[in-house]
Amino acid sequence: MTTSRWWRGAVIYQIYPRSFLDTNGDGVGDLPGIIDKLDYVASLGVDAIWISPFFKSPMADFGYDIADYRDVDPMFGTLGDFDRLLAKAHALGLKVMIDQVLSHTSIEHAWFKESRESRDNPKADWYVWADAKPDGSPPNNWLSIFGGVAWQWEPRRCQYFLHNFLASQPDLNFHNPDVQAATLDNVKFWLDRGVDGLRLDAINFCFHDARLRDNPPKPEALRVGRGFSPDNPYAFQYHHHNNTQPENIAFLEDLRALLDRYGDATTLGEISSEDSLATMAEYVTERRLHMGYSFELLTDDCTAAYVRGTVENLESKMSDGWPCWAISNHDVQRAVTRWSRRGAGPGLAEQLVALVCSLRGSVCLYQGEELGLTEAEVPFEALQDPYGITFWPKFKGRDGCRTPMPWDGSADAGFGSDAPWLPIPAAHRERNVALQDADPRSPLNAVRRFLRWRKTQPALMWGDIAFIDAPEPVLAFTRTLDGERRLVVFNLSAEPVSWPLPPGLTALALDAPGVNAARLDAGQLQLPAHGALFAALA
């Protein structure tokens, strides 16, 4: 157990740069805006920041379609701005992680522009190209996450190219060793610049089945998960062949070998597969990824039994790996809105942060989570997300969790533009940073207190986890490290709950600031709405 590694037990604050702070008035946040607010981020008590893509891009998928891996898009600033950001973050004691989108590029990338010109140029085999079937249809039945077939016809080559996401995001051919080498060289560019870690987008999508076999159909009753509602045909298949291929393991080991040359630089892989927990366990080892996270706690199912089952499932499979947990990010509806479907009241936002920060592993907190921001209602005419535009109105896309940060109560919420790229809802201005900063009882200050306190609890940072039987809506578990045991209990409802401690469990009150504290009364635990208990076990 190497608790000295900074990323073990770390709280990583995700910054979506286009929505953080706009310093030049163009409606889009930028790197200088992040620099301006790093003192605020440090005040939260987090250990690191993860910055979503800021690389040169046509922005068809808002930076996840990269045209140049080694340069900053002008809308975000310059490489010099990034170097200043890195220096200031390090001076504040914050590590810096950046997104790396390795599985695909933009159609505007120089590699793709060359590859599409002919079947015999130096980059001809750098992307996934395939001939049409005799009737002109795509080579197999693979589907895009964003809807429709995963193949796009290219008349220059008279072939189809693969895109697991948008048609403007062609998949690289990782079966080609030159692609792997060039990808690792791009990663090295940023490691040489001094970044402390990489968040690896869709890391299990790097390889495809070289035989291009059809994916098998999925029964209607199983068409669920991560926004894949029955109206999205992507849910109609088991995705056995278009991602999560065995060849990916060797590439991850090569990537890890590169990272190991840079001291304590780390990797955090985003994993979404048919069995994401099993894939996490396979990918997160001492020779592959340092950390991994999936979408299991980013769903709408928020029962105590579901949380317990998810964590226990991963624990049973991950023998020597280190998980990372998240309940919010830039791809899903905000947690306060999702979890409030079972009832909400004061203390929910604080409880959610405390809960995810009490599980074994590291944590990703998404900007605005500390404010208790709800999902924004973005009207159709203001939508930017192509995913939401395609599936409106049943699925409204990802814009509702990407609206700009509310820094104050002014008309533009202190974002820096009268015409931000997405509208800022009035409900968010009412939860702005300046207002909450001045209120000691606010979610913001509660989160600060809890994160500072968590740093004093080694068992919560690094200890083992074991769950205790409890009825809904009570979630109970212990964290244990070097003989120190902590009891952690949450009431995942908006109503008070009484729960008798199991026989033989002797709990001593332990102050945990920043949450609605429970009360011990003659062996009975009295949990207020969205309440929690943190106690030492005798």
Which of the residues are catalytic?
A: 201, 270
Rounded Cα distance, 277 and 190, in Å: 29
Count of C-beta atoms within a 10 Å radius of residue 259: 19
What residues form DSSP beta bridges with 468? 476
Count of C-beta atoms within a 10 Å radius of residue 377: 13
DSSP strand E in 202-335: where? Answer: 266-270, 291-293, 322-325
User: CA triplet 244, 246, 251: central angle to 5 degrees?
Assistant: 90
DSSP percent split of the chain into helix, strand, coil, nearest 5? 30, 20, 50
What residues form DSSP beta bridges with 363? 11, 325
Tokens at residue 340, please? 């409030």
Rounded Cα distance, 308 and 199, in Å: 26
Rounded Cα distance, 11 and 77, in Å: 26
Q: List, edge to edge, every strand of the sheet that includes 159-162.
A: 129-130, 159-162, 151-154
Count CA within 13 A, CB hemisphere, residue 42.
Answer: 15
Task: Tell me whether the omega of the peptide bond preceding residue 393 falls within 30 degrees of 0, making it cis.
Answer: yes
Q: Which of 451, 459, 462, 454 is nearest to 5 (CA)?
A: 462
Task: Tell me whether the omega of the peptide bond preceding residue 58 falls within 30 degrees of 0, making it cis.
Answer: no
Contact 132, 94 (CB under 8 A): no
User: CA triplet 43, 44, 50: central angle to 5 degrees?
Assistant: 105
- Helices 304-317 and 276-283 pack at an angle, to 10 degrees, of 40
Rounded Cα distance, 114 and 169, in Å: 15
Residues ≥6 apart with Cβ < 8 Å to 207:
174, 175, 243, 245, 247, 248, 251
Residues ≥6 apart with Cβ < 8 Å to 290:
7, 197, 256, 259, 266, 267, 268, 284, 322
What residues form DSSP beta bridges with 519? 526
Q: Cα dist. 141→178, 217, 241, 470 in Å?
A: 28, 10, 10, 45
